[in-house]
Amino acid sequence: MCGIVGYVGTTSGTTALDVVMEGLARLEYRGYDSAGVALVAEGQVAAQKRAGKLVNLRQALVDAPLPASRTAIGHTRWATHGGPTDQNAHPHRGGDDGKLALIHNGIIENFHSLKTQLLADGVGFASETDTEVAAQLLAQAYAGDLTEAMRTVVNRLEGAFTLLAVHADNPGVVVGARRNSPLVVGRGEHENFLGSDVAAFIGHTRQAIELGQDQIVTITPESIDIIGFDGAPAQGKPYEVTWDAAAAEKGGHRSFMAKEIAEQPHAVADTLLGRTDESGRLVLDELRIAEEDLRRVSKITIIACGTAAYAGMVAKYAIEHWTRIPCEVELAHEFRYRDPVIDSTSLVVSISQSGETMDTLMAVKHANDLGAHTLSICNTHGSTIPRESDAVLYTHAGPEIAVASTKAFLAQITASYILGLYLAQLRGTLSEEEIAEITHELGEVPHKLSHLLDSMDRVREIARFMADSRSVLFLGRHVGFPVALEGALKLKEIAYIHAEGFAAGELKHGPIALIEPGQPVFIVVPSPSTAHGLHGKVVSNIQEIRARGARTLVIAEEGDDDVVPFADEIIRVPATPTLLAPLLTVVPLQVFACELATARGLDVDQPRNLAKSVTVE
């Protein structure tokens, strides 16, 4: 995905370029292969762009300053079509006169056929991108009205896209359009903003407008006009952003990832806030699905990708146990291609931090087509997936800037637990007393997280000691299995180390062949109070791998002495009910990955080849 910013204004004390560069700095997590800006000044469009991170663009602007302007657009890119080069960086020009500039997030699926037509018309291209096709089409369509030209062009495009454009003949105007890709409006005093995320303008206004699907927005310093792709007037949905600019800054931490790990007690507490009435019953006002329909649900399918999928795997154990409804977890990008068995008694739950993950969005649309009820668990107000779903359960983790998800993961698990308990309440599969007890235990988790985070010094020491490791394995059972998968993913994402997570019971079915002297293995140990004797079975796994020379790094709850003889290192977590344990046991693995990657001199917030969410399928 890419970060996009647009600005028009007459407010004194700042320039359009300042606003856009500030916005790009806040959005660099969305893409950092290249960056560029374009502004309207003196009857021209002036632009600058550079491959690499935003610092390269900053230096280019110092070396060759652009003229003062009140109208600008900016872009930070995660490359899809064409490599990360100066030529492929956005903005792209359209037309021979260079008066038009355009930036783009997403993929234009029919760009090749459109480019072939343009080449036949004698149009030349300076890049390998699909974006330049849109720029050239917009230049062809322009006849004095940039909004109407945009409407003409978007109706020729297929795929997912957000487009922002400026034209030298229309100073004080930025036009944007969105289809299956994020775009939000910021409303100010004598200034207005566009961005792929409210972080783009949170330093200037908290007043935002949510755009609908297939809409075009035109901003000037004094106006915000919205129409559909068909030209009909349309309305956006105003809302106020509940966090401020400081929430999108590091706040004294070495990295955003470190900051977001530290914010997890608040992320869980805020996601729990306001979910019960005065009598203690769960109340989910965001759910727009009738209670009777929820009572009739015969199957739950959770769809997600990456870390969100592991949150869904944790949720499956709790939801099935509490509701007695069969629950399965699907990778969203596989869901609609396997002809899933879904009907009107199915509940499809999507999990996405950004609400823009394209694989998940298309899976939600497929579920809607099949007649299922769809519910989104999401952290981003006004994003696409909640709008395409029948209902939404918002997490309240605040902005998550680091590419590797941490606090959003815990908030997603928390929200999933709330959903499971709510369904159990509706269906009567748990008593009021049982629900109240679990809800109380959930309410204790933020305090336990704070205690745990204060005791991570030894984990950081271990990480620094292991900075040269070439492979790390992770084992877990029951809810510890998805925690093991998530621990391995974090290490792969930000430290570029081979890491694998396994269900501990699978060890003797093949993976034990990987064990050799010195092999580091993290083991997530269930509580001794866990049913079915799982604790003893995992302790036996530790013995098996220790006997073959593994270095055992054991995550066990306080007071579990059975692991002591077989652990090279013991990382203690506060005791908590089994189904809630992942909210604690994953934290040392997050801290370990963050510290190890930092010790290796890597950028933990912006790992190579990755962006915060994937807005192409």
Q: Are 19 and 42 in contact (CB under 8 A)?
A: no
Of 316, 407, 448, 612, which is the active-site residue?
Answer: 612
Three-state DSSP class for 405?
A: coil
Nearest of 552, 556, 532 to residue 543 by alpha carbon? 552
Tokens of 281: 């019953």
What is the rounded CA–CA span in Å between residue 118 and residue 571? 62
Tokens of 419: 């959903």
Give all strands of the β-sheet with 391-394 in edge-to-edge order.
327-331, 299-304, 346-352, 373-378, 391-394
In this structure, which amino acid lies at residue 49? K
In this structure, which amino acid lies at residue 98? G
Catalytic residue flag (residue 612): yes
In terms of Cβ atoms closer than 10 Å to its own Cβ (0-12, 13-18, 19+), residue 52 is middle
Three-state DSSP class for 237?
A: strand
Tokens of 312: 């869904």
Of 2, 305, 327, 594, which is the active-site residue?
Answer: 2
Q: Are 417 and 580 in contact (CB under 8 A)?
A: yes
Three-state DSSP class for 29?
A: helix
Length of the chain: 617
**DSSP characters over 364-414:** HHHHHHTT-EEEEEESSTT-HHHHHSSEEEE-------SSS-SHHHHHHHH
Catalytic residue flag (residue 378): no
In this structure, which amino acid lies at residue 540? S
What is the Cα gyration radius of the chain? Answer: 25
- The separation between the first and the last C-alpha atoms of the chain, rounded to the nearest angstrom, is 11
Q: Are 31 and 77 in contact (CB under 8 A)?
A: yes
Tokens of 389: 């779903």
Residues with a catalytic annotation lie at: 2, 612
